[in-house]
Homo-oligomer: A and B are copies of this chain.
């Protein structure tokens, strides 16, 4: 693991998820840019200090020096965004499997480079768009691919959070500590890069359609703030299909309100992340149906993504564990469904989305092809 040391919630989430799915063991890593803190973390976690490295280069050298069967096979990158690319690149080139937090890189160019390198290096690569690990998101994908909705006519996704709101308004002194607001750490976008891209990914994941062009209206909210904290993106797909992504990091009181609705010619599907075990199928000619996990009416992939009996809620860690499990199958060379984990192509799409959104906004809210 790279990053994810003391106090980092995303790193902890990855470790928990890997333990839940039980196909991984945490052997070593570079847990902090400060080597002492990294070692402190390693001690706390009971990790062999010889494998707590000072840098990614040391890690690569150290691990490659070990017999192949003892080596770290897969590395999770859970650093701030700007480090994803260079670390992933080195690891892939040295034939480590990589699990990378999103956004995959800070530019399309980097993303495409990773894609090309992977094509050469033949390792597995997983991008943790965690929400695609939820059973009902997978069920949604399956129902759509089976044609239950008829022809899709409209897609509407939302990602509203409020935690940055309290920072920018009430606790300004803390704002410097929030690396997510700083371009040098996160890249060219905050709201769209950090959360809007999840909505984008969820749309392409569930519908199986590519967004062809978009028109974005972004808002930095305050004058001192350097990046977008809020925005709306109009979407166009093939065949005159339209959609919209709405996203905000300053939606006071919203926690993690990611939602998606896909409207078809025959029926529609709606899902919301804060109540992940409910999937609503609306139709013109019958009562709305509520799909829930652990029921035999679900698809195979959805059912395999939930372990407990019906009515025992699983959550975000289990969603991430499902993605880790798919990646483990890939690493072991087993069969897996393409819906089991997002990969480098999803990463390239995500970076294209972010760049296109920023460009559309900068050019005065005009249509741009992705």
Contacts and interface: CB of A to CB of B under 8 A. Distances in A.
Given A221-B153, A290-B290, A252 B284 contact: yes
A41 to B, nearest CB: 13
Given A154-B230, A285-B296, A266 B169 contact: yes
A299 to B, nearest CB: 13
Contacts of A256: 309-312
A22 interface: yes
Interface in A237-273: 240, 242, 244, 246, 248, 250-257, 261, 263-268, 273
Contacts of A316: 308, 312-314
A81 B152 CA distance: 31
Interface residues of A, number: 85
B9 A309 contact: yes
Contact of A19 (B22, B217, B276): B22
A94 interface: no
Contact of A252 (B162, B254, B265): B265
Chain A contact surface mostly: mixed
A273 B266 CA distance: 24
Contact of A246 (B244, B248, B297, B313): B244
A282 B162 contact: yes
A166 interface: yes
B311 A257 contact: yes
Contacts of A181: none
A156 B311 contact: no
A263 to B, nearest CB: 5
A240 B219 CA distance: 8
Nearest 4 CB-CB pairings of A with B: A253-B282, A255-B311, A256-B311, A315-B315
Given A16-B307, A244-B246, 11 more contacts: A13-B308, A150-B252, A154-B219, A156-B246, A221-B240, A253-B281, A253-B282, A254-B311, A255-B292, A288-B290, A365-B367
Interface of A: 9, 12-13, 15-16, 19-20, 22, 149-150, 153-154, 156, 158, 160-163, 165-166, 169-170, 215, 217, 219, 221, 230-232, 234, 240, 242, 244, 246, 248, 250-257, 261, 263-268, 273-277, 281-292, 294-297, 307-318, 365, 367
